């Protein structure tokens, strides 16, 4: 996934674009580039981060009030200067930035090569701008029409911005399958992959739809479909605030977002739970009460951390709502030809709402007649715009690539959905709901108390930061927490880590136990506590290093494990919301101690909008 920013208006474009690229760097950061128009089209680009691009141009006068910029996560063509965006046409009169994949680029490239086009990069993006150039030259049509015709020949996903030396007061933007937001300011327009580079200038935005092209002139905005029909744009007002995008004094966005969890969980529940009445209200799915009362099967599709949240949801929905749940990797589900009928409810979980595999899985479910819901964190993202209904997590922008507050917000929403369906189907008594919701209402406070373990976790991190492998074990709804703890550690510290059901140890992983291997158990006081204690003893007996997340006051495990991290006692249903916190902090501190780039880990992007 890449980051795209464009500007046209009365201000100098360069500072706006560069600041916007910094805000979007979480989307991709292996190379960056910028194009400006000022007495001619000027393109500057190189491998490396946005700050490397700034260094590269620091002695150049970067003038002009129209421009665009790109920060890349490589798909076609390795990260290098020549594969960086923007890419230019053969005659250098046109230049493009692109997020997505042109699937039929090689066929198009063959045709253009036969016509004498010469390419400088290995990218699919360069082929697209040469195609536009070819159409302009063959038809004599203007830029907008040439782009529209070109996009009708393209198969794949794109969010593009194009500039032309022959039309210096115009940006052309278009999208299909990759996000694109247009900011509508006073005598100025902004274009970006999401609202984060726009919000400090205007809160009025238009979410471009698939197959739409925007012709953005200095004082005119025209939106067409690629079939040439004029579209009437809807202007949304953003509820995002600028300070949400700053680090707020934290060293990394990830740490800030870990500490935001008391607030984000509170925001996620706000207006949705009434503990005294034992009532859950979910406005986003209330039209589907009958469906939820009678549904026999719920299928959850997601990727990565969101898939882990789905696994927690499976335990909660089956336990409390007594509805069968299957949790699927979206990337497998979409290619497996699954058996889906109109009786099914398919729920996609996605922080970004842009993950290509999750989107495709949802579209497949829709095609097969299922009702489709979304659990997303970004209002107006692609997934919420195709679903029948859904529940936003309201966690606020999550900038750190490693998902933290989004995970606990997703689990919170799934908890609310489990209780909501239970309420509709009468599988929980009113008095029990009062009890559960009263306890759930306390969770933000308990998260605050859990965060007090930070210094202790930092001490443990220092002892295990040089490990090469790590095992995370849990039972019941703590098994997905073990998976999530392992993912956090591996994706930001690059230590190999695996999560397993604790009972599964005996079927293989126990062979890994030695005095090098840290084994982290989630061993809170709940229905499987005794069983987990036996697993701890099995590891101890083989010389493993045991670190255990335990309930406050636990002495049994404290006498067995080398290190324990205590979390407040809470109902088993809510343990994932607390037990995940120390694992997030452990991964964070180990990664920092290993000198890793915590907010922008190598090879990763915040949202994978390509397959
Ligand atoms: C989690 O820390 C990772 N960044 C990654 O696994 C992420 O959860 C996954 O790519 C799904 O993203 P989404 O929630 O935006 O769909």
pLDDT tens figures, 470-486: 999 999 999 999 999 99
Ligand 1 near 358 CB (within 6 A)? yes
Choose the residue to mutate in 304, 395, 399, 600 for probing ligand 1, maximizing ligand atoms within 8 Å of C-beta. 304
88-99: average pLDDT: 96
- Atom in ligand 1 nearest the alpha carbon of residue 358: 16
Query: Which of 49, 176, 488, 606 is an active site residue?
Result: 606
Q: Can you give the pLDDT at residue 608?
A: 79
Query: How far away, in angstroms, is 352 Cα from ligand 1 center?
Result: 8
Ligand 1 near 491 CB (within 6 A)? yes
Phi, psi of 590 (to 5 degrees): -65, -45
pTM: 0.80
Nearest CA to ligand 1 atom 16: 350
pLDDT band at 358; cut points 50, 70, 90: very high
Q: Can you give the pLDDT at residue 77?
A: 73
For 253-277, write each residue's pLDDT tens digit: 999 999 999 999 999 999 999 999 9
**DSSP for residue 318:** I
Tell me the CB-side half-sphere exposure of residue 441, using CA atoms within 13 A.
17
Question: Contacts for 162-165 with beta carbons within 8 Å, 24 or more apart?
Answer: 162/94, 162/95, 162/96, 162/129, 162/132, 163/35, 163/37, 163/41, 163/66, 163/67, 163/68, 163/86, 163/94, 163/95, 163/96, 164/41, 164/93, 164/94, 165/37, 165/40, 165/41, 165/92, 165/93, 165/94
Distance CA 58, CA 544 (A): 53
Query: How far away, in angstroms, is 233 Cα from ligand 1 center?
Result: 30
Distance CA 61, CA 69 (A): 16
Query: How far away, in angstroms, is 407 Cα from ligand 1 center?
Result: 9
Ligand 1 near 393 CB (within 6 A)? no
Q: How many residues does the chain have?
A: 611
For 417-467, write each residue's pLDDT tens digit: 999 999 999 999 999 999 999 999 999 999 999 999 999 999 999 999 999
Ligand 1 near 151 CB (within 6 A)? no
Q: Can you give the pLDDT at residue 249?
A: 77
Query: How far away, in angstroms, is 42 Cα from ligand 1 center?
Result: 36
Distance CA 502, CA 522 (A): 9
Q: Can you give the pLDDT at residue 240?
A: 78
Residue among 109, 122, 30, 42 at smallest CA distance from 83: 122
Choose the residue to mutate in 1, 178, 305, 393 for probing ligand 1, maximizing ligand atoms within 8 Å of C-beta. 305
pLDDT band at 606; cut points 50, 70, 90: confident
| DSSP conformation letters of 362-411 | HHHHHHTT-EEEEEESSTT-HHHHHSSEEEE-------SSS-SHHHHHHH
3-state secondary structure of 342: coil
245 pLDDT more than 80: no
Query: How far away, in angstroms, is 218 Cα from ligand 1 center?
Result: 37
Query: How far away, in angstroms, is 307 Cα from ligand 1 center?
Result: 8
Nearest CA to ligand 1 atom 4: 402
Lowest mean pLDDT among 137-141, 260-264, 375-379, 432-436: 375-379
Ligand 1 near 403 CB (within 6 A)? yes
Q: Can you give the pLDDT at residue 160?
A: 98
Ligand 1 near 84 CB (within 6 A)? no
Q: Can you give the pLDDT at residue 12?
A: 97
Residue among 410, 377, 440 at smallest CA distance from 572: 440
Q: Can you give the pLDDT at residue 241?
A: 78
Nearest CA to ligand 1 atom 9: 304
153-159: average pLDDT: 92
Q: Can you give the pLDDT at residue 372?
A: 98
Q: Can you give the pLDDT at residue 64?
A: 96
Distance CA 25, CA 354 (A): 16
* β-pairing verdict for 469-474 and 496-501: parallel
Query: Which of 2, 303, 453, 596 is an active site residue?
Result: 2
Consecutive H or E run containing 499: strand 496-501
**Contact yes or no for 210/180 (Cβ under 8 A):** no
244 pLDDT more than 90: no
Ligand 1 near 264 CB (within 6 A)? no
Residue 2 appears among annotated catalytic residues: yes
Distance of CA 165 to the CA centre of its chain: 36
Consecutive H or E run containing 107: helix 105-114
Distance CA 175, CA 161 (A): 9
Q: Can you give the pLDDT at residue 363?
A: 96
Ligand 1 near 398 CB (within 6 A)? no
Query: How far away, in angstroms, is 78 Cα from ligand 1 center?
Result: 23
**Hey, which residues does 173 pair with through a beta bridge?**
161, 214
Q: Can you give the pLDDT at residue 155?
A: 92
Distance CA 529, CA 550 (A): 10
Q: Can you give the pLDDT at residue 76?
A: 72
| CA distances, 318 to each of 321, 331, 500 (Å) | 6, 24, 21
242 pLDDT more than 80: no
74 pLDDT more than 90: no
Distance CA 445, CA 422 (A): 25
Q: Terminus-to-terminus CA distance in the chain, angstroms?
A: 10
What is the pLDDT of the chain when averaged over all its residues?
94
- Atom in ligand 1 nearest the alpha carbon of residue 604: 4
Distance CA 115, CA 269 (A): 60
* β-pairing verdict for 31-37 and 66-72: antiparallel
247 pLDDT more than 90: no
Query: How far away, in angstroms, is 488 Cα from ligand 1 center?
Result: 11
Choose the residue to mutate in 1, 306, 329 for probing ligand 1, maximizing ligand atoms within 8 Å of C-beta. 306
147-164: average pLDDT: 95
Q: Could you tell me how many helices (H) and strands (E) the chain has, helices first?
A: 19, 27
For 173-183, write each residue's pLDDT tens digit: 999 988 899 99
540-549: average pLDDT: 94
For 18-47, write each residue's pLDDT tens digit: 999 998 877 777 899 999 999 899 999 999
Q: Can you give the pLDDT at residue 26?
A: 72
Q: Can you give the pLDDT at residue 243?
A: 72
**Hey, which residues does 96 pair with through a beta bridge?**
87, 162
pLDDT band at 132; cut points 50, 70, 90: very high
Q: Can you give the pLDDT at residue 154?
A: 94
Residue among 428, 432, 498, 426 at smallest CA distance from 467: 498
**Contact yes or no for 320/422 (Cβ under 8 A):** yes
Angle between helices 430-450 and 261-269 (to 10 degrees): 160
- Atom in ligand 1 nearest the alpha carbon of residue 352: 15
543-568: average pLDDT: 95
């Amino acid at each position: 996934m890449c980051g795209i920013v464009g500007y046209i208006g009365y201000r100098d474009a360069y500072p706006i674009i560069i600041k916007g690229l910094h805000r979007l760097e979480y989307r991709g950061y292996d190379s960056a580039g910028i194009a400006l128009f000022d007495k001619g089209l000027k393109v500057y680009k190189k491998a490396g981060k946005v700050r490397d691009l700034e260094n590269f141009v620091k002695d150049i006068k970067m003038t002009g009030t129209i421009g665009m910029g790109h920060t890349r996560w490589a798909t076609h063509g390795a990260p290098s200067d020549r594969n960086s965006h923007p890419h230019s046409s053969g005659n250098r009169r046109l230049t493009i930035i692109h997020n997505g994949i042109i699937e039929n680029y090689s066929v198009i490239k063959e045709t253009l090569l036969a016509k004498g086009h010469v390419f400088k990069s290995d990218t699919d993006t360069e082929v697209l701008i040469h195609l536009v150039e070819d159409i302009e030259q063959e038809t004599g049509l203007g830029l907008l029409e040439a782009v529209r015709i070109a996009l009708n020949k393209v198969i794949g996903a794109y969010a593009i911005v194009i500039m032309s030396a022959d039309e210096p007061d115009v940006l052309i933007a278009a999208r299909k399958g990759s996000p694109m937001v247009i900011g509508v300011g006073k005598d100025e327009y902004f274009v970006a992959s999401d609202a984060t580079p726009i919000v400090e200038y205007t809160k009025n935005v238009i979410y471009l739809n698939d197959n739409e092209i925007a012709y953005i002139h200095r004082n005119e905005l025209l939106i067409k479909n690629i079939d040439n029909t004029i579209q009437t744009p809807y202007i949304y007002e953003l509820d995002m605030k600028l300070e949400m995008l700053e680090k707020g004094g934290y060293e990394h966005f990830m740490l800030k977002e870990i500490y935001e969890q008391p607030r984000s969980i509170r925001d996620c529940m706000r207006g949705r739970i009434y503990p005294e009445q034992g009532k859950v209200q979910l406005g986003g799915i209330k039209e589907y009460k009958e469906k939820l009362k009678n549904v026999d099967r719920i299928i959850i599709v997601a990727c990565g951390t969101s898939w882990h949240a789905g696994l927690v949801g499976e335990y909660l929905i089956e336990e409390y709502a007594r509805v069968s749940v299957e949790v699927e990797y979206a990337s497998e589900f979409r290619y497996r030809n699954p058996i889906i009928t109109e009786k099914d409810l398919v729920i996609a979980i996605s922080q970004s709402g842009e993950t290509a595999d999750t989107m495709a899985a949802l579209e497949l479910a829709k095609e097969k007649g299922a009702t489709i819901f979304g659990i997303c964190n970004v209002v107006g993202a692609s997934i919420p715009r195709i679903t029948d209904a859904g529940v936003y997590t309201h966690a606020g922008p999550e900038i750190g690539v490693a998902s933290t507050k989004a995970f606990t917000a997703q689990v919170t929403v799934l908890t609310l959905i489990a209780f909501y369906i239970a309420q509709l189907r009468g599988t929980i008594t009113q008095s029990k709901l009062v009890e559960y919701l009263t306890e759930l209402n306390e969770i933000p406070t308990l998260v605050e108390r859990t965060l007090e373990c930070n210094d202790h976790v930092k001490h443990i991190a220092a002892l295990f930061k040089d490990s090469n492998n790590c095992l995370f074990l849990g039972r019941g709804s703590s098994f997905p927490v073990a998976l999530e703890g392992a993912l956090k550690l591996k994706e930001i510290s690059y230590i190999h880590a695996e999560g397993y059901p604790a009972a599964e140890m005996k079927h293989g992983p126990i062979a890994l136990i030695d005095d090098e291997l840290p084994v982290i158990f989630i061993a809170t006081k709940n229905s499987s506590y005794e069983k987990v204690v036996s697993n701890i003893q099995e590891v101890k007996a083989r010389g493993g290093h045991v670190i255990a997340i335990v309930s406050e006051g636990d002495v049994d495990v404290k006498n067995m494990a080398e290190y324990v991290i205590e979390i407040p006692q809470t109902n088993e249903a809510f343990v994932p919301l607390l037990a995940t916190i120390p694992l997030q902090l452990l991964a964070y501190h180990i990664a920092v101690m290993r000198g890793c780039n915590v907010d922008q880990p190598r090879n990763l992007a915040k949202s994978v909008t390509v397959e």
